Chains A and B, each alone.
Chain A
Amino acid sequence: MFTGTLITVLLILHGLAGVALVGLTTHQAIAVWKTRPLAAKNFVQAYVNTRASTYTNATVLIYIATFIGGGLIYPTYVMDVKSSLTDASMNPPIGLFEIKEHVAVYGLAMLPSYWWLWKKAAPSEHVFARQMNTTLIALIVWWSFIIGYILNNIKGLL
């Protein structure tokens, strides 16, 4: 179990990787639903008009790195944060984190097929599956990020 300065550094790195992942997956998940080419005349059109497939490898690598980081700091969460929440009878935050730990695994399990759909399947094939895979992973990342942020804030207040 990591403690002291090391756990702080790991937590910050984990959070920064989460920020990057939120940006990557959100951008890709919005772009994947684009139905026709856009002129990119304004911010929204330019945002949607990105080459979404170029985000795939970075998403996979950062997801795995973030997952490993979360796995490293998890024991400290159990000993320090979860025990404080239990003592304070704060069940909802514990439940939120329980869901986070589960859905993060589902996202990890989806990465191989997600990668294949973006990198190996032809752009015109499996479009809906690509859209749903990407959107589900983005939702998992958002949930994990927000709940991690909330838990971090709660522990700071306890």
Chain B
Amino acid sequence: MNTPFALKVFAGVASIVYIAAFIQGYTPFRWYPLLGEASLEDLPRSAGPAMGWYSWIVVCAVVGAIAAAIALFIPKKLTEGVGPTLSWLVPGLVVLYTFYYEWHWFIE
């Protein structure tokens, strides 16, 4: 089993899936703090603000875990040069993209 590569795949895939889910608004469930409950449907404004953060975490954890499970079976000789870099380069680029994407808060 290629455990080291799987852990690095998890870091990269989970980061990409998180930002993708956030940008695309893919929110399977939302938490409504005013009501103190989660909902699979978009509730009316009277329900108060909706939080998608928990949903994006679940989505990226599930997809990252699936990708890591697949990566376990990739032969080590194919991943020796890629794995270590993947563990920091992909999350690092996603961090930079996050700053770029959220920059509108500072210029509006």
Contacts and interface: CB of A to CB of B under 8 A. Distances in A.
Q: Does chain A bind chain B?
A: yes
- Interface size band for B: 35 or more
Interface centre among B7, B57, B89, B94 (most CB of A within 10 A): B7
Contacts of B10: 109, 112-113
Contacts of B33: 1, 75-76, 78-79
Interface of A is mostly: helix
Interface stretch (A23-31, A40-48, A53-61, A92-100): A92-100
A110 B84 contact: no
Contacts of A109: 10-11, 14-15, 18, 60, 64, 91
Nearest to B84: A129
A103 interface: yes
B31 interface: yes
Interface centre among A110, A116, A133 (most CB of B within 10 A): A110
A74 B53 CA distance: 9
B54 to A, nearest CB: 7
Interface in A99-117: 99, 101-103, 105-107, 109-110, 112-117
A111 to B, nearest CB: 8
Interface residues of A, number: 39
A98 B102 CA distance: 8
Given A79-B33, A109-B64, A103 B4 contact: no
B91 A136 contact: yes
Interface in B62-108: 64, 84-85, 87-89, 91-92, 94-95, 98-99, 102-106, 108
A5 to B, nearest CB: 18
Contacts of A75: 31, 33, 51
Interface in A66-82: 71, 74-76, 78-79, 82
B11 A91 contact: no
B49 A78 contact: yes
B98 A103 contact: yes
15 contacts: A74-B51, A75-B33, A75-B51, A78-B51, A98-B105, A102-B102, A105-B14, A105-B15, A105-B56, A109-B18, A109-B91, A113-B8, A115-B7, A132-B89, A136-B92
